[in-house]
Amino acid sequence: MTNNDILKKLRVALKLRDDEIVKILELVDFRISKSELGAFFRREDHPKYMECGDQILRNFLNGLVIHLRGPIPKRGEKSNEQKKSNK
């Protein structure tokens, strides 16, 4: 299974649009255009197909964690989950 396949399956499973994926990548300061992103979702025999590298997939997964859980709290700060459990 390639990085492109993983990215496609996550996009479908989480019902993400291209603009949402771009915003998720921006959470980890990784800039990519919608057209560059679209190249990852093309068929392998398409002339504009691009292989998704490890760095892009890693940044997407890190951004997805922030998107779903919220930002990482700094040392000494409590996360929203910890604040809720203390109430």
| Residues 53 and 3 sit within 8 Å (Cβ to Cβ) | yes
Query: Which pLDDT score is estimated for 80?
Result: 61
Kindly indicate the confidence band of residue 84, based on its pLDDT and cuts at 50, 70 and 90.
low
No. of H helices and E strands in the chain? 5, 0
Res 81: pLDDT: 59
- Tens of pLDDT along 50-73? 999 999 999 999 999 999 998 777
| Domain spans of the chain, in order of start | 3-86
10, containing H or E segment = helix 3-13
What does the angle CA 74 – CA 76 – CA 78 come to, to the nearest 5 degrees? 80
Burial-class residue 62 by CB neighbours within 10 Å (0-12, 13-18, 19+).
middle
pTM value?
A: 0.78
